[in-house]
A and B are shown apart, each in its own frame.
Chain A
Amino acid sequence: MNQDLKALLVRLSPQLIALASILLLIFMMFPSFFNIGIQNGRLYGSLIDVLNRGAPVALIAIGMTLVIATKGIDLSVGAVIAITGAVAASSAVAGNSLAYTIVLALGTGLLCGLWNGALVALLGIQPIIATLVLMVAGRGIAQLITEGAILTFNDEGLIFFGSGSLAFLPMPVVIWVVFGLLVALVVRRTALGMLVEAIGINRRASMLSGVRTSVLLMAVYALSGLSAAIAGVIVAADIRGADANNAGLWLELDAILAVVVGGNSLLGGRFSILGSLIGAMIIQAVNTGILLSGFPPEFNLIIKAAIIVVILMIQSPRAATLLEFFRKAPESVKERT
């Protein structure tokens, strides 16, 4: 177990170092950054805010990690957030019970995920294109549900998911941490995670060796839909309304970025949910840092682009062979002498 932990730390060390240095950088500019106080029975502070604001991206990144591990991609999560937010809001406005509302919203998300999964697994359509359909149509569907308006609601139970707190922590933080641990445990303590990686490395080979690839792919996309649904409920609960146009806009790109920053390859195969979660926090820390430092928030985009380029350089197969070349060279020299 201790060795496992050590291996995990080594694997995640680039992400942890990046996160720590960003936090340190912000701390040097704003010494009050790490101040945490308790008000109204919950923790307050910039650090908590990073955890709280990063909840939607972190949640989506959990599902996205598994989808990307199968060599796929899910572009529809932003639209699914809009749809499930609209479903939750309209159900709350209609006066349905909280449990019914939640089940309805999560069920809708699952359904969206299954739709994507069916296109990818059963019809064999490329994931980018298959999920593009829902990405394009999804916001239209969400607007159909809200009838073009921003639906606001006052259901205390639903609002609790956005701004309530449990054990001193804001509710969104509790949700993404628990959901992330749950999914990580399920895929890592069973063979599921390995099978998902097998699909990502070679779908045909894993099918021939008896892995039920279609079922697994469907399940992975369904999970992505479910995580987007949870994020959708949180986003809607946070603003106490459903905004079909802007809820979750471009969040899919942030989630993909979080997964890539978390050290997962876009080409599928090995994955780390913990890495993606740290990746999501890195992105949110950068966001918060820029907001605090008074730069226009638009600078975020340039920094994100820079992050992608740096990661591309590191992940590129060409760079890897170069590195290998320089590493191998001295050894072979040694052998000869």
Chain B
Amino acid sequence: MNSKYLPLIATSVIFVVAYALCTMQYPNMLSTRVVGNLLTDNAFLGIAAVGMTFVILSGGIDLSMGSVIAFTGVFLAVILQSTPIHPLFAFVLALAITTAFGALMGAIIHYLEMPPFIVTLAGMFLARGMAFVLSIDSIPVNHDFYGVLNGLYYRLPGGGRLTFIGGLMLLVFLAGIVIAHRTRFGTNVYALGGGTQTARLMGVPVARTTIQIYALSGFLAGLSGIVFSLYTSAGYALAAVGVELDAIAAVVIGGTLLTGGAGFVGGTLIGILIQGLIQTYITFDGTLSSWWTKILIGLLLFAFILMQKGILLLSGDKRKFT
């Protein structure tokens, strides 16, 4: 068996076993209602995590995501409150801004040869600052179209609801998997993660790919912001603080190598679901405090980093001779 599937298999096994243990204690957790809520509550995080997966696959990191989500939310709330334009048009505007923002960061990373960490850190400050400039207060969104979108759902057998945003997240994951494994761009991302120098020698257009990756990440952060805005029906500049960390954690737990070059978009979905499961379990239990989520995610993160190290060590010997 190929060792590159090991992290993915381990994640899946952990999820299934954890879910089984949860249902043994609380049989109600098996219902489609819980599953539907799991998808709805983590929709914005999941969409952001798809973008993060691409960035990490290419060997980079994007710290600006949480701020871009908050910015999109405030932008939508302000624009819907003060102008009569249709939300769909506002969505397009927001996506255009965040995509351009991501592309700009990608260009700076490539052309100035600076570490993605510090460039996206500047982006994080800038996006959050712009959100505050737009409005310091939390602005509610009362548009009818929001009600329509939030009212859309597919009734699952057993009474659960696959909401519009939950379904959108699954669609984004599907699209992400296709892009990563079935397109030239996806191959270029993997190649870039293997090493910029080698990628360049292989003929990968490094500049274009880098800019595209961060543009995609910006686009998905914007989409995640739209979903967050639908989910909360409000825009607040202090919202979504630290979402980028949760997204990174989900990517790592999903089995993507942090050094880039190896991993699966599908794994990230399981990473998101594991995080959601921990939260759901804590809600069901009622006596545990929510800070256990953070500690457990930290521990999982640690375990998966260790496992990745182990796999690298094991496969390292083989690589030398091939």
Q: What is A's interface to B at a CB cutoff of 8 Å? A: 73, 119, 123-126, 128-130, 132-141, 143-144, 148, 244, 253, 256-257, 260, 266-267, 296, 298-305, 308-309, 312-313, 315-319
Contact = CB atoms under 8 A, between A and B. Distances in A.
Nearest to A312: B114
A126 B293 CA distance: 24
Contacts of B248: 132
Contacts of B115: 266-267
B292 interface: yes
A139 B125 contact: no
Interface stretch (B46-54, B83-91, B130-138, B174-182): B130-138
Contacts of B121: 253, 256-257, 308
Residue with the greatest number of chain B CB neighbours at <10 A, chosen from A128, A257, A305: A305
B136 A129 contact: no
Given A136-B298, A316-B113, 10 more contacts: A125-B305, A128-B61, A129-B305, A136-B249, A139-B294, A144-B291, A301-B129, A302-B129, A312-B112, A318-B113
Nearest to B249: A136
B289 A319 contact: no
B67 to A, nearest CB: 9
Which 5 A-B pairs rank lowest in CB-CB distance, beginning with the nearest?
Answer: A137-B298, A298-B132, A140-B294, A301-B129, A302-B129
Contacts of A244: 291
B27 to A, nearest CB: 28
Contact of A140 (B114, B122, B295): B295
B129 A312 contact: no
Contacts of A309: 108, 122
Contacts of A318: 111-113
A316 B122 CA distance: 15
A137 B122 contact: no
A74 to B, nearest CB: 12
A319 B291 contact: no
Interface string B259-295: 1000000000000000000000000000001011111
A60 to B, nearest CB: 15
Interface residues of B, number: 43
A137 B289 contact: no
A137 B297 contact: yes
A316 B112 contact: yes
Contacts of B117: 73, 128, 266
Contacts of A137: 294-295, 297-299, 301-302
A258 to B, nearest CB: 13
Contact of B301 (A133, A253, A299, A317): A133
B118 A308 contact: yes
Contacts of B258: 126, 128-129
Nearest to A249: B241
B29 interface: no
Contacts of A302: 125-126, 129-130, 133
B10 interface: no
B119 interface: yes
B252 interface: yes
Nearest to A304: B125
A245 to B, nearest CB: 9
A115 to B, nearest CB: 10
Given A256-B121, A305-B123, A319 B112 contact: yes
B65 to A, nearest CB: 14
Contacts of A73: 117
Contacts of B114: 266, 312, 315-316
Contacts of A130: 305
Contact of A139 (B112, B291, B302): B291
Contacts of A303: 129
30 contacts: A126-B258, A126-B259, A128-B61, A128-B117, A132-B249, A133-B305, A135-B245, A136-B249, A136-B297, A137-B301, A138-B298, A139-B294, A140-B291, A140-B293, A140-B298, A143-B289, A143-B291, A144-B295, A253-B124, A256-B118, A256-B121, A260-B118, A301-B125, A302-B125, A305-B126, A305-B129, A308-B118, A309-B108, A315-B114, A316-B112
Contacts of B133: 298-299, 302
A312 B117 CA distance: 12
Contacts of B128: 298, 301
Contacts of A313: 112
Contacts of A132: 245, 248-249, 301
A299 B298 contact: no
A313 B297 CA distance: 37
B144 to A, nearest CB: 31
Contacts of B302: 133, 137
A134 B299 CA distance: 9
Contacts of B61: 128
B306 interface: yes
A143 B133 CA distance: 32
Contacts of A317: 113
B200 interface: no
Contacts of B126: 301-302, 305
Contacts of A266: 114-115, 117-118
